[in-house]
Amino acid sequence: MDTRLKRALILCLLAASGSASAQLPAAGSAAAIGCDTPVYQLDPDGLARARQALDAARAAPGPHDLALAAAQADLAFATARQSGPLPQRDANRKAALDLAERAQAIWNAAPPSAALGQDILRRGRTARNAAHCPLALNLLESALAVADKAGGAGDPLALSVARELMLLATAMGDDPTVTMLAPRLLAALDADPAPLDGANYQAYLAAADHYYRSEDHERAEALVNGLIDKAKASGADPAKLRRLEFERASIYYAQGRYKEAEALAALADRPRARPDGLRADMKRVEEEMAGQVRSGRLQAALATGEAQLARLEAGRAASAAALQAAEAEWEAAKKEGKRDALAAARTRYATERRDGIVWQYGLANMESYVGEVQHALGRFELALPLYEKALEHYPAAGGANVYDIERVRGDLALVCRARGEKARALALQQQVKATLLPLLGAQHPDVREAEAQIAQLGNAALEPAPAPLAPAKRKK
C-alpha cells in the first residue's frame, strides 16, 4: 500500500474543486462559488420598485447618466433573481444581461473614479453571492475597466477586482477571461500588498492552475515560487507551505524533473483533508496493512482492510444522509430568501459536500487496498470487483487524484490479464497510457510499465504470458 504514496507524487492544482487542501476554501473562492445553483425569489414588489426607479432615473439621469446606470444595474439584479418556470428564468437572465450591458456603456464613458469602481464591485459581489454568475461577470468586468482607468493596473482596487474576477471566471469555466487575467496576476504577485490568504491566495492558485493546464510550466512555476516566497515572508502556517511545495512538485514532475519532484514530495506531507480524524485513521490503517504485507501476513492485512472497509461504508452512508439534510435546509432557505439563514445553510451544504468527497475518496482507496491483497492471494474473482468499485467510487469532481485512479486501472488490467480477459486488459492499459503520457512523459516508469504491458498483450496470441505480478507483492 505504501507503493501508492511513492507513485502518487503529483497533486492536481485546485480550481474550484472541492478537493482536499490545506485549508477550506474561503468565501468567494472558485470552490465556494456555486454558479450551478443561482438563488431565485418571487418578489414582484421588488421588481416593480426597481422598474419605477429606472423610470425616475430616465427622467433625471444624473451627472454623466450615472444615476441611470445604477438604476439599470439594480433592475438587472432584480430581474435575474425572479423565480418562475425555466423558460421565464432564461428570459429574465437575458434581459438582466442586456440591462447590465447598457449600464456598462455608461460607466465606460463616465469619468473614472475609485468610488465608482467600488460601487460596481459591490454590485458584482451581490450578484456573485446569489450565484447569478453571468451577471456578476459582466459587473466585475465593468468594475475592472473603471478601476484600471482610475488608478492603473497596479492600483489596489484594480488588483482586488482582478483577483475576484479570476475566481469567478474559473468557477464558470470562462477560459478566455482566465487567459486574459493570468498574466496580469503573474506580473502583480510580487508587489501585491494584499495579505496572502482567503480569496487572494485562491486567485493566484487559479492562475497557476491555468498555466499548468496550458502546459506553460515556466509561468506556473514562477507563480508557485512567488507564492512560496510570500508565504514564507508572511509566516504562513506550515500546512499552506506543504501544499505549495506539492504544487511545485507537480510542476517539476510534468517537466520531467523527477528527482527534484520526488525530493519535494519526500519533504512534505500530503495536504490535510476534512475530516482530520478520518485522514489520521486512514493513515494508521494503511501503515498497519503495509507492515502486514511486507512481513507476508496477507490474511492479517485482509482482515484489517475489510474491517476498515465496513467502517468507511458506514461513515459514507452517514455523510450522505447529512448532505441530504443540508441540501434540504439550503433549498428551504432559498425559498424563504433570508440572507443570514441562506448563508448559513449554504456553508453547511458546502461543508457536508466536501466531507462527503473525503469519505468517498477514503472508501475508494481502501477498496483498492483490499483488492491488492486479494490480488496477491491469487483471488482474482474477488480482486476484480474491488478494483471496479474503487474506480466507480473515486469522486468524479474534486478530491480524486488522477494518478491514484490510473494506478488502480492498471491493477485491474493485470487481474483481467490473469483471468484471460486479454482484450479488456489491453484496453485498460491503453487508457492508462493515454491518460499518463501527456502528464508524465514517455520516460516515466508508470508510462513505460503500461507500454510494456501493451506490447506483451499485443503478442499474447503468439504464446501464453505468465500471470502478472500482483501489486501487493511488488518490491517496495
Q: For 26-53, how does the pLDDT look when each residue is reduced to its tens digit (9 = 90+)?
A: 333 444 566 777 888 888 899 999 999 9
Q: If you write DSSP's letter for every residue of 359-400 in order, what string do you get?
A: HHHHHHHHHHHHHHHHHHTT-HHHHHHHHHHHHHHS-SSSS-
Q: Is 444 left (phi over 0), alpha (psi -120 to 50) or beta?
A: beta
Interatomic CA distance for residues 420 and 346, integer angstroms: 50
User: Where are the strands (E) in 74-172, listed by range?
Assistant: none
> Domain ranges in the chain?
2-9+281-473, 30-267
**In the prediction, which pLDDT does 226 show?**
92
- How far is it, in rounded angstroms, from Cα 308 to Cα 134? 45
* Sheet strands (E) in 272-429: none
In this predicted structure, what is the pLDDT of residue 267? 58
Identify the DSSP state of 430.
Answer: H
Look at residues 281, 252, 431 and name the one whose alpha carbon lies nearest to residue 365. Answer: 281
Contact between 153 and 144 (Cβ < 8 Å): no
- The helix/strand/coil state of 280 is helix
CA-to-CA distance for 404 and 401, rounded, in angstroms?
Answer: 5
406 Cβ contact partners less than 8 Å away, ≥ 6 residues apart: 431, 432, 435, 436, 446
Residues 6+ apart with CB under 8 A from 295: none
Residue with cell 444615476: 67
**Residue 446 grid coordinates:** 508508470
Q: Which residues pair with 82 in a beta bridge?
A: 41
Could you please state the CATH topology (level 3) that the domain comprising 30-267 is classified under. Answer: 1.25.40
pLDDT, position 396: 63
Over the Cα atoms of the chain, what is R_g?
26
**Mean pLDDT highest for which of 139-148, 164-173, 200-209, 443-452?**
139-148
First to last CA, the chain: 9
pTM: 0.56
Average pLDDT, integer, range 147-168: 91
Read off the pLDDT of residues 399-431 as tens digits, 9 standing for 90 and up. 446 788 898 999 999 999 999 999 999 999 999
Residue with cell 443561482: 38
Helix axes 422-440, 445-458, angle to 10 degrees: 150
Q: How far apart, in whole angstroms, are the C-alpha atoms of residue 34 and residue 72?
A: 25
CB 271 within 8 A of CB 242: yes
Whether the CA torsion 116, 117, 122, 125 is positive or negative: it is positive
Rounded alpha-carbon distances, angstroms, from residue 378 to 371, 383, 450, 463, 470: 11, 8, 21, 22, 8
Res. 335 pLDDT band, cuts 50 70 90: confident
Phi and psi at residue 238, in whole multiples of 5°?
-55, -30
Whole-angstrom distance, CA of residue 240 vs CA of residue 234 = 12
**Between residues 355 and 143, the one the model is more confident about:** 143
Q: What is the mean pLDDT of residues 104-127?
A: 94
Beta-carbon contacts of 446 under 8 Å, excluding residues fewer than 6 positions away, are 7, 403, 406, 407, 410, 432, 436, 440
Asked whether the predicted pLDDT for residue 223 surpasses 80, the reply is yes
User: What pLDDT shows up at residue 474?
Assistant: 40
Q: Measured between alpha carbons, how far is 92 from 339 in angstroms, rounded to an integer?
A: 22
Least trusted range by pLDDT, from 267-276, 317-326, 351-360: 267-276
Reply yes or no on whether the pLDDT at 265 is more than 70: no
The pLDDT value given to residue 24: 28
DSSP assignment letter at 62: -
Confidence of residue 16 (pLDDT cuts 50, 70, 90): very low
Q: Which CATH architecture best describes the domain 2-9+281-473?
A: Alpha Horseshoe (1.25)
